[in-house]
């Protein structure tokens, strides 16, 4: 592991580095070697996310010392071409301030072109990887940055031609993991016929976000929350994902999935599990995932009555892209009924949560960018303050501007005895100055090097997640359910507020969290 670099690593990175070092040392105490292979190296995900993530790990001295990177794709390119495609997505400062380190990073890279169904091309890939394996232990990480149509062929070819002979092989895959229970089961059966579960890393990048990881710390590291974390005290939980932009030319891909498959069934459901699960026996990946899957098993299928679907229209009052609605995107099929917004009320039938609605809300082209978890507590019993008491809320702001705050009632300072809403506020930017927050992908890729599956989705979780949503998705498609229309830049369809209020969520509109000034 390289430690003497010209860019100072942050304390967080150093802590991670130490953990990584411990986990990676081999039994004979030699340094292991790694090859990180990106399949789909010429695509968008690779250039915008995967290469920049590997660079960030390298920059912070978190990439193990003996690591090579090999890109594989159909296009006839060279490693230099990959460099020029990736460079615009690296931080400008890094390129200007550390040109030698950037050169050193790209010198670790190779590129092989070949067909995804070409067995002989995978043999060629294997010989390139083998030629880079100079250490006694040589491990391989395959990142499938590929469309799902080639998942099966590519994984079969890896198994046939490209498995590590002197170390482990791990496969990282991105959603979509199927589009319903049946297709997901087919993919899982295929993968499990080739690899063991501990070799498969299903990425849900929300699990790599700081505040999502913080949920466990808040819940199980504090005495104050445990006793009130239940149906007696909590009225509802709202897990929101809002984006202020539309599908932006990605409409073709998006249209065949829709917002439920794109965000709700994975990112939001994973967060729900972390909010609702029982305390795991230990913090090991298996113990945590055992608890998450129990939550999912207690959930009923989502019913059409408990969901609001929306699709954005253009907003003539706004500028630029916002003037165009979803159906104006030329990559979207004419008359598409695909939802770009959905709010679902989910229920967990167990002793802790019976009757408490968990609202999952996600949408594109809304009024703001925000992902948060909002726990709304029940009313104060026997209010002696002339009904001034508003409900307490614990809010975990995932992004942007990570924060945890508790909304509470306080006496208005001064002579009068009135109550007002205020907050106990832990805003990260003001509490932790000069914080370098690693990107979700950085943590997750490092986890794969270390063999930690805590933040990856296990196959039984996936089965349950699809069980909860498949009947609904089929019904929506079969009955051609029409989404309600909402304007680009609005809060979404009005029906969503009606549903949350019908199920007991209270919105007062009297309080707005103000981001503290630094
Ligand atoms: C992806 C979805 O999984 O998450 C996208 O496919 C969405 O539609 C993205 O925009 C949001 O991720 P983040 O990290 O920007 O919140």
Task: Name the pairing type of β-strands 403-411 and 393-399.
Answer: antiparallel
**Which neighbouring-strand residues pair with 485?**
311
CA of 362 to the centre of ligand 1 (A): 11
pLDDT of residue 52: 97
d(CA 464, CA 418): 49
Element (H, E) at 131: helix 119-132
List per-block mean pLDDT (blocks of 10 residues) for the chain, which spans 518 residues.
36 51 59 96 96 96 95 97 97 94 97 97 98 95 95 97 97 95 97 97 97 97 97 98 90 92 98 98 96 98 97 94 93 96 98 98 97 98 92 97 96 93 93 88 96 96 98 98 98 96 90 67
Q: Are 505 and 236 in contact (CB under 8 A)?
A: yes
Give me 248's structure tokens.
């932006």
3-class SS of residue 145: coil
CA of 333 to the centre of ligand 1 (A): 22
Residues with Cβ within 8 Å of residue 227, at least 6 apart in sequence:
none
Q: Are 115 and 121 in contact (CB under 8 A)?
A: yes
Mutate to test the pocket of ligand 1, among 173, 179, 205 (most ligand atoms within 8 A of CB): 205
Helix and strand tally (H, E) in the chain? Answer: 18, 15
Residues with Cβ within 8 Å of residue 157, at least 6 apart in sequence:
116, 117, 118, 119, 122
Atom of ligand 1 nearest to the CA of 259: 8
Mutate to test the pocket of ligand 1, among 145, 204, 262, 364 (most ligand atoms within 8 A of CB): 262
- Residue where the block lists tokens 């702001």: 397
The protein residue with its alpha carbon nearest to ligand 1, atom 5, reads 262
Q: Give the angle 233-237-239 at the CA atoms, nearest 5°.
A: 160
Mutate to test the pocket of ligand 1, among 241, 267, 371 (most ligand atoms within 8 A of CB): 267
pLDDT of residue 15: 56
The protein residue with its alpha carbon nearest to ligand 1, atom 4, reads 263
Which entry of 66, 98, 267, 436 is annotated as an active-site residue? Answer: 267
d(CA 60, CA 450): 16
CA of 209 to the centre of ligand 1 (A): 12
Atom of ligand 1 nearest to the CA of 241: 16
Q: Are 206 and 271 in contact (CB under 8 A)?
A: yes
Atom of ligand 1 nearest to the CA of 243: 10
d(CA 35, CA 81): 20
Atom of ligand 1 nearest to the CA of 254: 8
Q: Are 74 and 114 in contact (CB under 8 A)?
A: yes
pLDDT of residue 6: 32
d(CA 353, CA 356): 6
Q: Are 442 and 135 in contact (CB under 8 A)?
A: no
Contacts made by residues 385-392, CB under 8 angstroms, sequence distance 24+: 385/409, 385/419, 388/418, 388/419, 389/419, 390/421, 390/506, 390/508, 390/510, 390/511, 391/235, 391/506
Global pTM value = 0.93
Element (H, E) at 213: helix 210-220
Nearest-CA neighbor of 125 among 168, 148, 80, 159?
159
pLDDT of residue 27: 57
Give me 84's structure tokens.
């020029």
Q: Are 421 and 385 in contact (CB under 8 A)?
A: no
Residue 262 Cβ inside 6 Å of ligand 1? The answer reads: yes
Element (H, E) at 212: helix 210-220
Distances in whole angstroms, Cα of residue 373 to Cα of each of 212, 393, 399: 9, 10, 10
Residues with Cβ within 8 Å of residue 348, at least 6 apart in sequence:
276, 295, 298, 299, 354, 356, 358
pLDDT of residue 13: 47
B/e letters for 377-411, b = 16+ CB within 10 Å, e = fewer, are: bbeeeeeeeeeebbbbbbbbbbbeebbbbbbbbee
Nearest-CA neighbor of 276 among 291, 257, 261, 256?
291
The reply to whether 267 belongs to the active site is: yes
Nearest-CA neighbor of 261 among 185, 188, 187, 204?
204
3-class SS of residue 251: helix
């Amino acid at each position: 592991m390289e430690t003497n670099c010209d860019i100072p690593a942050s304390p967080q990175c150093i802590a991670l580095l130490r953990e990584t070092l411990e986990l990676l040392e081999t039994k004979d105490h030699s340094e292991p070697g790694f090859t990180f292979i990106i399949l789909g190296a010429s695509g968008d995900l690779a250039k915008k996310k995967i290469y920049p993530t590997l660079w960030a790990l390298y920059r912070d001295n978190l990439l193990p010392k003996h690591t090579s990177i090999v890109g594989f794709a159909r296009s006839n390119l060279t490693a230099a071409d990959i460099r020029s495609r990736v460079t615009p997505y690296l931080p400008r400062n890094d390129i200007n301030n550390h040109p030698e380190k950037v050169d050193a990073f790209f010198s670790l890279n190779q590129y092989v072109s070949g067909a995804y169904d070409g067995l002989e091309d995978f043999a060629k890939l294997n010989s390139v990887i083998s030629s880079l394996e100079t250490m006694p232990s040589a491990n391989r990480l395959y990142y499938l940055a590929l469309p799902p149509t080639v998942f099966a062929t590519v994984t079969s070819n890896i198994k046939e031609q490209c498995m590590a002979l002197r170390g482990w092989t791990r496969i990282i895959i991105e959603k979509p993991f199927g589009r319903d229970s049946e297709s997901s089961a087919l993919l899982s059966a295929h993968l499990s016929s080739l690899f063991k579960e501990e070799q498969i890393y299903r990425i849900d990048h929300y699990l790599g976000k700081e505040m999502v990881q913080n949920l466990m710390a808040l819940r199980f590291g504090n005495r104050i929350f445990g006793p009130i974390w239940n149906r007696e005290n909590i009225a509802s939980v709202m897990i929101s994902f809002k984006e202020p932009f539309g599908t932006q030319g990605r409409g073709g891909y998006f249209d065949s999935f829709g917002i439920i498959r794109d965000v709700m069934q994975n990112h939001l459901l994973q967060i729900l599990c972390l909010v609702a699960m029982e305390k795991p026996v230990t913090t090991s990946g298996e113990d945590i995932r055992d608890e998450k899957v129990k939550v999912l098993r207690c959930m009923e299928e989502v019913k059409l009555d408990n969901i609001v679907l929306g699709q954005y229209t253009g907003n003539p009052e706004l500028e630029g892209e916002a003037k165009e609605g979803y159906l104006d995107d030329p990559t979207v099929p004419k008359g598409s009924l695909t939802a770009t917004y959905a709010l679902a009320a989910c229920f967990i039938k167990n002793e802790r949560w019976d009757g408490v609605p968990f609202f999952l809300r996600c949408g594109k082209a809304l009024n703001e960018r925000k992902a948060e978890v909002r726990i709304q507590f029940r009313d104060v019993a026997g209010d002696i303050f002339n009904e001034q008491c508003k409900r307490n809320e614990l809010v975990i702001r995932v992004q942007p501007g990570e924060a945890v705050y508790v909304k509470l009632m306080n006496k208005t300072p001064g002579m009068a005895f009135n109550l007002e809403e205020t907050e106990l506020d832990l805003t990260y930017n003001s509490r932790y100055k000069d914080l370098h927050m690693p990107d979700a992908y950085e943590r997750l890729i490092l986890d794969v090097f270390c063999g930690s599956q805590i933040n990856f989705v296990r196959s039984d979780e996936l089965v349950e997640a699809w069980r909860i949503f498949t009947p609904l998705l089929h019904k929506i498609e079969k009955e051609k359910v029409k989404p309600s229309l909402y304007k680009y830049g609005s809060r979404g369809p009005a029906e969503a507020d009606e549903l949350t209020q019908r199920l007991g969520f209270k919105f007062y509109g009297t309080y707005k969290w103000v981001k503290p000034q630094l």
